[in-house]
């Protein structure tokens, strides 16, 4: 692969954690870099166990993967240690860039108050106020927190040295592109850019060092909180179709809409996508559940994948057919 960027196509919840965990196991990822912040969770299912992770990279399930949290990320110290306990990973496997900023309790209080006043939905973690402090150059950094000292590293140097050595590197984006501060449905967006270029910037990797941008679609679209959602259906209809979901990180109900081909094409172009993944195909076509080969899909499912490729111009190389990390059709 050697350096691949993972970006969400829509409003988040596309199943990036599933795709990352599959790549970690199948491709034997040497490095996985978490960007973004604690307000987004990645869900990993393995052997019937569910892991909803806000801080630890989703490739933790491959025991040889080096797990890194980028300089552009925001670290919630208590959540970091909670996930260290949850995943039982060796502390020597994980590193936090010394320049990553810290989310404090005061930021959560400010975040919730601001959301009420502005009418904009928030997870309440405090990411927006923490980023405001970072922009004002008054934020505390990881290097200022004594309990993080054993984990501190220079992520950019580690990753670029790894690329030089031909290692498999994955840059793990969070949320979805339509929540980008610059390119999304402003003001109903997150506090940072969520596109592929920003993921590279947060990790400290130049664009010419990236081999592939893998955009992750879901067979239908969901979003949580306020803001537009073209083609939105009712919760009752979503339940009838098997599309009703709750957010892994917050437990909030997800609003649903059918797949939007025009939006899929636009976002693939802006992110420079070279490959695509499609998750939750089994929710659209239940007879495809747990399929491992493209030929095993129903004709309707094949037609849907072919239409996505035709209208976006991007090959769909990974297809999720169930919740487990290995429920994947790999067409690479």
pLDDT at 108: 84
> Is the pLDDT reported for residue 79 higher than 80?
yes
Domain ranges of the chain: 3-330
pLDDT exceeds 60 at position 3: yes
Q: By C-alpha distance, which of 287, 309, 311 is closest to 300?
A: 287
Q: Answer with the residue of higher pLDDT: 288 or 108.
A: 288
> Which residues does the annotation mark as catalytic?
13, 42
State whether the Cα torsion 112-79-200-322 is positive or negative: negative
Tokens of 14: 């596309």
Q: Give the angle subtended at the CA of 326 by the CAs of 287 and 198, to the nearest 5°.
A: 110
Q: Give the residue-averaged pLDDT of 51-80.
A: 94
Q: Rounded CA gap, 187 and 227, in Å? A: 8
Report the alpha-carbon distance of residue 63 to residue 29 in Å, rounded. 10
119 contacts: CB under 8 Å, gap ≥ 6: 226
Distance CA(266)–CA(60), nearest Å, equals 32
Domain boundaries 3-330, CATH class:
alpha beta
Can you give the pLDDT at residue 202?
Answer: 97
Q: What is the pLDDT of residues 239-267, one digit of tens each?
A: 999 999 887 666 779 999 999 999 999 99
pLDDT band, residue 98 (cuts 50/70/90): very high
Q: Residue 123, exposed/middle/buried by CB under 10 A (0-12, 13-18, 19+)?
A: buried
pLDDT at 117 over 60: no
pLDDT for 279-321, tens place per residue?
Answer: 999 999 999 999 999 999 999 999 999 999 999 999 999 999 9
For residue 113, the model assigns a pLDDT of 77
pLDDT tens digits along 139-160: 999 999 999 999 999 999 999 9
- pLDDT for the residue 309: 98
Residue with the bigger pLDDT between 52 and 268: it is: 268
Percent of the chain residues topping a pLDDT of 90: 81
What pLDDT band is residue 131 in, cutting at 50, 70 and 90? Answer: very high
CB atoms within 10 A of CB 158: 19
Reported pTM: 0.93
* pLDDT for 45: 83
């Amino acid at each position: 692969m050697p350096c691949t960027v993972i970006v969400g196509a829509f409003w988040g919840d596309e199943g990036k954690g599933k795709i990352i965990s599959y790549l970690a196991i199948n491709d034997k990822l040497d490095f996985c870099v978490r960007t973004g912040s604690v307000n987004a969770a990645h869900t990993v299912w393995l052997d019937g166990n569910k892991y909803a992770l806000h801080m630890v990279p989703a490739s933790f399930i491959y025991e040889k993967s080096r797990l890194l949290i980028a300089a552009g990320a925001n670290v919630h110290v208590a959540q970091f240690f909670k996930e260290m306990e949850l995943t039982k990973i060796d502390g020597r496997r994980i590193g936090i860039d010394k320049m990553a900023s810290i989310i404090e309790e005061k930021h959560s209080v400010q975040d919730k108050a601001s959301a009420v006043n502005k009418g904009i939905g928030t997870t309440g973690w405090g990411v927006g106020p923490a980023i405001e402090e970072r922009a004002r150059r008054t934020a505390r950094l990881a290097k200022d927190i004594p309990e993080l000292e054993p984990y501190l590293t220079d992520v950019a140097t580690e990753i670029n040295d790894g690329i030089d050595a031909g290692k498999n590197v994955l840059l793990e984006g969070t949320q979805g592109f339509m929540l980008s501060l610059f390119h999304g449905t402003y003001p109903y967006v997150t506090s940072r850019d969520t596109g592929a270029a920003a993921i590279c910037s947060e990790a400290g990797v130049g664009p010419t060092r990236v081999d592939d941008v893998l955009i992750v679609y879901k067979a239908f679209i969901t979003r949580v909180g306020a803001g537009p959602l073209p083609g939105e259906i009712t919760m009752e209809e979503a339940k009838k179709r098997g599309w009703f979901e709750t957010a892994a990180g917050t437990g909030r109900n997800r609003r649903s809409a059918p797949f939007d081909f025009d939006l899929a094409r636009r976002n693939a172009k802006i992110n420079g996508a070279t490959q695509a993944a499609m998750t939750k195909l089994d929710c659209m076509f239940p007879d495809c559940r747990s399929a491992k080969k493209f030929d095993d899909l129903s004709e309707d499912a094949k037609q849907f994948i072919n239409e996505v490729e035709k209208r976006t111009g991007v090959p769909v190389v990974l297809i999720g057919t169930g919740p487990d990390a290995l429920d994947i059709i790999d067409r690479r």
